[in-house]
Amino acid sequence: MTAVRTTPPPRLPVRDKAEARARAWGGVSPMLTRLAAERATGVLVRERGSLHLAEGRVVHAESPLAPGLDVLLTARGTLDPETWQQAATEADGAPGAGLLLAGRGRLTRGALELCHLEALYDAAYFALAPSSSPGRFRYTSAGRLGAVHPVTVTALEHETLRRRDLLHRIWPDPATDEAPLLRADALAAPGLTARQRAVLHLVDGVRTAPDIARGLGRPAFHTLVDVRRLAAAGVVTRDPAAEAVTRAPAPPPHPPALPTRGTPAPRADRGPALHPAAAVPEVADPDITLLKRLRDALESL
């Protein structure tokens, strides 16, 4: 019996795991990813904050919901407010003021980098939150703010997603992040840490989590973690009155059906006639609405 030799099939290509992960990474902001690839320099303005880029890296972030570098440095006693204010008037931006103070020996480089990274990641978490309006990028010259510790866009977006996942695992309801907070009718709050007790002390039905973070001089995200843990334990809750104010309005009622062919017209004795202005409410054409939204988006670019 003659043995027949066959050519072995070619080996399957081995997938590069690192390259596959890079392709699978979609990013939090496609515009930010594109700007990083272009090594752009400027300011990306979004609905809840802004990111400052230098050659595709993030060098500074700002958000009205996160305490700035000045709050983190002065509230902890690292600097007095007068010293920071004097440096801020001489420099252009918070990183520049920090670099100026570090060069004069008023601030150690390690303390500056630590507080700068805390403020940057903190503000970027809010700036990269999902928004209803597109971002706008403004090109500027390099070196306007000064770079304390640049961060890659990939690292920033991964950290943002990690923080979102952490908050969701602690307490999946994000309503306590920005709403006025109330103390719940709990008999006791056992096992609270010192940080949580400090947060609970400022819960008064008016302050939000970012307000409490600014009052304590702490990063806002750390305060969100404490607030969600307190909410999960039933110690704090959101203000229902504020929830009713911010609740989205109900959709307009459907217009009455128009009479079809063959249907007798309503007679005068069947009831009072409707006012002409209230007969049939105007319904917006969905195509026109879409075109207006596209026009607004293009104008905002």
Mean pLDDT of each 10-residue bin along the chain, 301 residues long? 56 47 59 95 95 94 95 86 90 84 90 92 96 90 72 96 96 94 75 92 95 95 96 88 47 42 43 35 46 56 51
Instruction: Report how many domains make up the chain.
Output: 2
Residues 163 and 187 in one domain: no
Side by side, the strands of the sheet bearing 42-46 are 57-62, 49-54, 42-46, 136-139
54 with 123, same domain?
A: yes
pLDDT at position 237 is 92
Helices 153-170, 30-37: crossing angle, 10 deg rounding: 160
In a domain, 79, yes or no: yes
Q: What pLDDT score was predicted for residue 95? A: 84
Residue 284 lies in a domain: no
What pTM was estimated for this model as a whole?
A: 0.71
pLDDT at 191: 82
Residue 94: what pLDDT? Answer: 83
Predicted confidence at residue 67, as pLDDT, reads 95
216 and 138 belong to one structural domain: no
The Cα 58–Cα 151 span in angstroms is 5
pLDDT of residue 171: 95
209 in the same domain as 102? no
Residue at which a domain ends, from 142, 169, 196: 169
- Do 145 and 46 share a structural domain? yes
Q: Is residue 156 part of a domain?
A: yes
Write down the pLDDT at residue 175. 92
Give the span between the Cα atoms of 89 and 70, in whole angstroms. 13
Verify that 126 and 79 share a domain, yes or no: yes
In angstroms, the CA 87 to CA 81 distance is: 10
- Whether residues 90 and 51 share a domain: the answer is yes
Same domain? 198 vs 212: yes
> Of 151, 169, 187, which residue sits at a domain end?
169
Residues 182 and 210 in one domain: yes
Asked if residue 141 belongs to a domain, the reply is: yes
Q: In the chain, where does DSSP find H-type helix?
A: 17-24, 30-37, 69-75, 81-90, 94-103, 109-127, 153-170, 194-201, 209-216, 220-232, 240-246, 286-300
Residue 241 within a domain: yes
36 occurs within a structural domain: yes
Q: Do 64 and 150 lie in a common domain?
A: yes
Q: Could you tell me the CA-to-CA distances from 72 to 39, 85, 155, 217 in Å, in that order?
A: 30, 14, 22, 5
Write down the pLDDT at residue 300. Answer: 52
What is the span of the domain harbouring residue 109? 28-169
For residue 223, what are its two tokens?
């305060």
Among residues 206, 231, 246, which one ends one of the domains?
Answer: 246
Establish if 277 belongs to a structural domain: no
Residues 202, 130, single domain; the answer is no
